[in-house]
Amino acid sequence: MPQDMLEFEGEPGASGLLASEPRLDREARFRAQDRLRVQQSRAGGRWFRLLWLLLGPGVLAMIGENDGPSMVSYATTGASYGIGFFVPFILLTFLMAYVVQEMAVRLGVATQRGHAELIFQRFGPFWGYFAMADLVVGNLLTLVTEFIAVQAGGLYFGLAPLVSVGFGVLIVAASLSLRRYATWERMLMVLAAGNLVFVPVALLAHPSGAALVRALVEWRPVGGVGMGFVTLILANIGATVTPWMIFFQQGAVVDKGMTRADLAQGRMDTAIGAVLAAAAGIATLVAAAALFAAHVDVAQFQSGADFATALRPLIGSTGATLFALGIIEAGLVAGMTISSSSSYALAEALSARHSLNLDFSQGRLFYGAAILSTLFAAGIVLIPGAPLLAITLTVNVIATLLMAPALLFLLLLVNDREIMRDLANGWKGNLAGGGIVIGISIVGAVYGVLIIFPNLLAGL
């Protein structure tokens, strides 16, 4: 049996699969089958097939973060400020996301442990529960916005909220019923490709290529900096870098059985996901910039459906329909990835089994956490009169504010040479990671000051 198959299945100190017979069940068999395909592709020099087999955690983390609230944040940004400042800013945020998620990949392949499990093991119960609280609050709030997105897209097509939200719950539950990580991952990859529907929407808005190039080259600051601008800065960061991504991708890397030999493909997976997600995010902003050019006031919008409706006279019914479908897709994919992120973390924290290869009887806690959080979020969305667009933007801001402590834990872990060995961070990784923590903290501090002193930037 290939050596890397032995390494990931055994407990610490065990010699491998045969030394850990209780794990020779459904979970172990499926993971071993997946590893065998990887080993065969690597031994045969089939590099494209190898990449395809290992593709998944990074793409799903990045495109999963292009969720309902993220796409609405990009649309609000484009409609409010156009493309000048925020197109290069979005590229910067996805570069930040790659730096963060690459560290999560290294942690997963080096330790074969999930993120929550490592925090409890290395820092103790207090900090473990602190990190869990940070994640659970952020995930529940974000899950609410995913169903807001599904409801908003449904409203454009005339569907009652109960119908569209109920459909979303059924899709999430159906994905969990697969009980096979590889099948779940491939299904989500197909759905995630729908995120690129925003690219033709942007093309239907007939953007100026010259204006896009100028935005990238010049990166001019926006005049009239105030609370709205800082809020959108935070919302755009929260649309790209959030705590659930770390927990999800590290958990998925372990569930997929990736080892040190797969690190190069893991990095490529993350980079491909970042490029695709950045393209979709920028396309959403560019499409909504048509509203900025037409002087449409989005302050009165109630949900993502209002963007599709307002765009219809500017980009046509085809573009508006694609926009609404994209919002639904974004909410569904993120709902599945974020709920599984919560499941990985909770099961790890409670030392319960955590894998999408488990039967329901073996993974009651794992699957139950995903289903209960999904039902909770769907129920919140169906409350009559809730300010859905305001909730959506606020959740992205909260996600950004919660990111600093999550990044600190990540940096501490990837610098722990006892568990990382030669895969520990170097000075460049620490400089990049530390810069991201400082940058997010500064923007969060500015936001806090502006809440207390709202007129502070009035003259800028």
The DSSP code sequence of 35-81 is HHHHHHHHHTT-HHHHHHHH-SHHHHHHHHHS-HHHHHHHHHHHHHH
Cβ 322 vs Cβ 200: under 8 Å: yes
Q: Give percent of the chain with pLDDT exceeding 70.
A: 88
Alpha-carbon gap, residue 393 to 238, rounded angstroms: 9
Confidence of residue 20 (pLDDT cuts 50, 70, 90): very low
Sign of CA dihedral 308, 70, 249, 426: positive
Cβ 286 vs Cβ 319: under 8 Å: no
Alpha-carbon gap, residue 346 to 344, rounded angstroms: 6
Average pLDDT over residues 115-129: 90
Alpha-carbon gap, residue 1 to 24, rounded angstroms: 14
Cα 183 to Cα 53, 354, 356: the distances in Å are: 12, 16, 9
- Domain span(s) for CATH 1.20.1740.10 in the chain: 57-452
- At 431 the pLDDT is 92
pLDDT tens figures, 211-251:
888 888 878 766 666 677 777 888 788 778 888 889 889 98
pTM of the model: 0.84
Average pLDDT over residues 446-460: 60
Alpha-carbon gap, residue 196 to 12, rounded angstroms: 42
Let me know the angle formed at the C-alpha of 140 by 135 and 143, rounded to the nearest 5 degrees.
Answer: 120
Question: For 57-452, which CATH class?
Answer: mainly alpha
Q: Please state which of the ranges 112-121, 214-223, 335-344 shows the lowest mean pLDDT.
A: 214-223
Confidence of residue 396 (pLDDT cuts 50, 70, 90): low
